[in-house]
């Protein structure tokens, strides 16, 4: 796998900076801001995210003078600018003059002005004015020496259920299905006599309306995702008229249910996201989210666009980051593919809902604070690190299949249980690899599968057209596939496959799913392996029959005791496993550990518990990131006979390395050494 080039030749360094909102503050503070930015090493400032009224106080009037001064001052101070369009929060004058711009809630009721992302994505007025602002910004600043990237809007969010969305949805359906007869057939509307006889009868899936046609709900999610994405691309194209060579992105939000980020990733020049873990999140949860963002564009590096330097303000418990956590989490982002370390926010707002959100500069305005000292130290360290990590890719041999449309369909399905646990199950299958320091890519229904040796596809309820054939080819060519209960149940319109489950995967898996038992909390069964080992299982248990698959484990209890619970079907040069139940974590730890050994997939490095090791490979060297997530020191044994350069200290290391609690090390090794070792072996 080749290293990717830097994101932008104008900024051949790790982007270090964050959201800067100078329009909130008197101009007397601006010079002090710039002095403190220089002191703590800020190199890139994101400007203009929520500045629509400051830039356009009335529809006929624009006021760019203050932004001219800010960009000029930033450039003079050696900072570059990620210039944002302000379209995430429309001005009050816009909502007042054009009330049809306001978003409607799931009952169809029009919202009042306020908050943000409170616009209808199909509104022609909103689209016209947002694109106009993007064009004016690009026309004015495309040649500004500080400009390094464009940031369109901010954290695109929920659906709208207004009448203009309903009308646009009907037209979208006409294009998708061609005829009302075809729509009725694919939606199976004969059930409960819900057949449509005129296009005008179709409404969005209102909270107080139609909710029994799952294909309708699924299509409305697709439609709203496309409408919001169109809003982004309209602004992007308005910018590209004047600024064709500067990267354009927007900030994503982890596993955000409402938007299919795989589709969005095709439209941005670089993936960027906002990392705000809760106090309950473990390091593996953050790692999984980073891996998702790296995977959205098939392994390309991404931008960590926002994180809090201290605390948040909207979680149930807004716990402070302990000393050292900010640095550790920042390097964890780099370890998983980030090219930036950015913050929200630079200076705490004096009012508004985020006035208590963490910032580099607190309300005191002082720089002799713990948080500022940590930000400054990290900036100095990243300055010394320079460009050594840029373009680094992650050599993953394991893929974890995730699909937004599958998530939508699965969670909206009525039965066999209300809690499908898609994300929880995804995490459970990711955890054994993360704990072993085995790199994992998130893969999607349209991903290239041949680069992986092992593909894990939990809860693959909805099968997109062609996916079953691609999975079969993957196994036939020597790949190993594991999928689970609820696999292969419906097509893209949420219609159950006529020949039962697992539908088109039946021959690949060599099993037939006869029934599914939903176990309430507290009730379990047993997964008993052929060697006698036994593990608790529950939640959902598929009652399957083998049609050629080898039975590796059976249920131990209830009326289906003795039935297959774990199977393997050898096809061509590969193998396909089917896990019929949700097992306890100990089973997945054991099973995947044995499978990795069988497949010869090695970890980045074997480390003590709590120490994460990841690899990134640039054009000239391998970079081994070591992160001690524990509070106590941990000693890591390095590969024998190899000497590493530790990039953060400049030391040469071999033998072993002791990491203090929350400590980080980045070990560099020339690729030539790797080639020599392989030749020698």
Strand ranges (DSSP E) for 244-347?
248-249, 251-252, 272-274, 303-306, 340-343
pLDDT at 673: 52
Q: Report the pLDDT averaged over residues 290-317.
A: 96
476 closest CA partner among 569, 398, 395: 569
Q: Report the pLDDT averaged over residues 626-640.
A: 98
Q: Report the pLDDT averaged over residues 255-279.
A: 97
pLDDT at 11: 75
Secondary structure, 3-state, 357-387: CCCCECCCCCCCCHHHHHHHHHHHHHHHHCC
Predicted confidence (pLDDT) at residue 681 exceeds the cutoff of 80: no
C-alpha–C-alpha distance, residues 547 and 428, integer Å: 28
Tell me the per-residue pLDDT of 590-606, one tens digit each, with 9 for 90 and over.
Answer: 999 999 999 999 999 99
Q: Which two tokens stand for residue 567?
A: 């199977």
Paired with 102 in beta bridges are 119
pLDDT at 9: 64
Evaluate whether 540 touches 416 at the Cβ level (below 8 Å): yes
Predicted confidence (pLDDT) at residue 677 exceeds the cutoff of 50: no
C-alpha–C-alpha distance, residues 67 and 133, integer Å: 14
Surface-to-core class of residue 188, CB atoms within 10 Å of its CB (0-12 exposed, 13-18 middle, 19+ buried): middle
Does a cis peptide bond (omega within 30 degrees of 0) precede residue 416?
A: yes
pTM: 0.97
Evaluate whether 605 touches 371 at the Cβ level (below 8 Å): no
C-alpha–C-alpha distance, residues 563 and 577, integer Å: 16
How many CB atoms neighbour CB 435 within 10 A?
17
Instruction: Look at the block and give the residue holding tokens 């990795």.
Output: 596
Q: Report the pLDDT averaged over residues 382-389.
A: 95
Paired with 625 in beta bridges are 614, 666
**214, 553, 561, 587 from 533: Cα distances, Å:** 41, 9, 15, 9
pLDDT bin (cut points 50, 70, 90) of residue 478 is very high
pLDDT at 12: 81
Tell me the per-residue pLDDT of 79-114, one tens digit each, with 9 for 90 and over.
Answer: 999 999 999 999 999 999 999 999 999 999 999 999
Catalytic residues, by residue number, are 155, 306
């Amino acid at each position: 796998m080749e290293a990717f080039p830097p994101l932008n030749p104008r900024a051949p360094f790790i982007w270090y900076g964050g959201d800067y909102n100078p329009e909130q503050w008197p101009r007397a503070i601006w010079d002090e801001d710039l002095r403190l930015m220089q002191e703590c090493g800020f190199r890139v400032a994101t400007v203009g995210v929520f500045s629509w009224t400051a830039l356009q106080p009335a529809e006929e009037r624009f006021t760019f003078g203050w932004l001219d001064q800010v960009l000029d001052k930033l450039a003079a101070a050696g900072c570059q600018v990620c210039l944002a369009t302000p379209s995430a929060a429309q001005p009050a004058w816009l909502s007042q003059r054009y009330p049809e711009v306001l978003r409607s809630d799931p009952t169809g009721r029009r919202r009042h002005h306020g908050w943000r992302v409170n616009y209808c994505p199909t509104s022609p007025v909103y689209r016209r004015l947002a694109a106009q602002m993007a064009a004016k910004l690009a026309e004015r600043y495309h040649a500004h020496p500080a400009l390094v990237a464009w940031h369109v809007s901010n954290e695109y969010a929920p659906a709208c259920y207004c009448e203009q969305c309903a009308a646009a949805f009907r037209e979208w359906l006409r294009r998708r299905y061609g005829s009302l007869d075809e729509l009725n057939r694919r939606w199976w509307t004969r059930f409960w006599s819900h057949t449509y006889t005129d296009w005008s009868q179709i409404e969005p899936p209102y909270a107080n309306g139609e909710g029994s046609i799952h294909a309708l709900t699924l299509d409305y999610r697709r439609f709203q995702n496309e409408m919001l994405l169109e809003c982004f691309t309209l602004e992007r194209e308005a910018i590209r008229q004047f600024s064709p060579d500067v990267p354009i992105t927007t900030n994503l939000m982890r596993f955000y249910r409402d938007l299919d980020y795989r589709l969005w990733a095709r439209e941005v020049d670089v993936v960027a996201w906002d990392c705000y873990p809760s106090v309950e999140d473990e390091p593996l949860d953050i790692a999984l989210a980073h891996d998702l963002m790296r995977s959205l564009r098939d392994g390309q590096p991404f931008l960590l666009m926002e994180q809090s330097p201290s605390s948040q303000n909207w979680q149930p418990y807004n716990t402070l980051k302990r000393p050292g956590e900010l640095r550790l989490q920042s390097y964890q982002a780099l370890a998983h593919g980030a090219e930036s370390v950015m913050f929200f926010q630079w200076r705490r707002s004096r009012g508004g809902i985020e006035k208590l959100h963490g910032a580099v500069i607190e309300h005191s305005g002082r720089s002799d604070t713990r948080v500022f000292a940590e930000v400054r130290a990290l900036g100095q360290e990243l300055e010394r690190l320079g460009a050594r990590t840029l373009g680094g890719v992650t050599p993953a041999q394991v893929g974890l299949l995730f699909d937004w449309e599958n998530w939508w369909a699965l969670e909206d399905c009525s039965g066999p249980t209300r809690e499908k646990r898609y994300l929880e199950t995804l995490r459970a299958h990711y955890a054994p690899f993360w704990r072993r320091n085995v790199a994992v890519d998130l893969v999607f229904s349209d991903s290239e599968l041949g680069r992986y040796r092992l593909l894990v596809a939990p809860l693959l309820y909805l099968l997109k057209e062609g996916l079953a054939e691609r999975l079969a080819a993957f196994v036939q060519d020597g790949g190993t596939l594991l999928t689970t209960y609820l696999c292969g149940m419906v097509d893209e319109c949420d219609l159950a496959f006529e020949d039962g489950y697992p539908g088109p995967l039946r021959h690949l898996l060599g099993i037939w799913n006869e029934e599914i038992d939903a176990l309430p909390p507290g009730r379990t069964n047993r997964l008993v392996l052929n060697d006698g080992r036994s593990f608790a299982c529950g939640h959902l248990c598929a009652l399957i029959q083998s049609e050629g698959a080898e039975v590796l484990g059976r249920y131990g209890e209830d009326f289906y005791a003795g039935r297959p619970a774990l199977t393997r079907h050898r096809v061509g040069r590969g193998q396909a496993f089917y896990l019929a139940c949700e097992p306890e974590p100990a089973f997945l730890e054991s099973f995947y550990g044995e499978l990795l050994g069988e497949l010869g997939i090695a970890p980045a490095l074997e480390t003590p518990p709590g120490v994460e090791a990841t690899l990134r490979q640039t054009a000239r060297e391998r970079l081994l990131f070591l992160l001690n997530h524990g509070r106590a020191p941990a000693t890591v044994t390095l590969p024998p006979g190899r000497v590493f350069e530790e990039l953060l200290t400049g030391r040469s290391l071999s033998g072993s390395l002791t990491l203090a609690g929350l400590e980080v090390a980045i070990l560099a090794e020339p690729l030539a050494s790797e080639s020599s070792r392989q030749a020698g072996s």
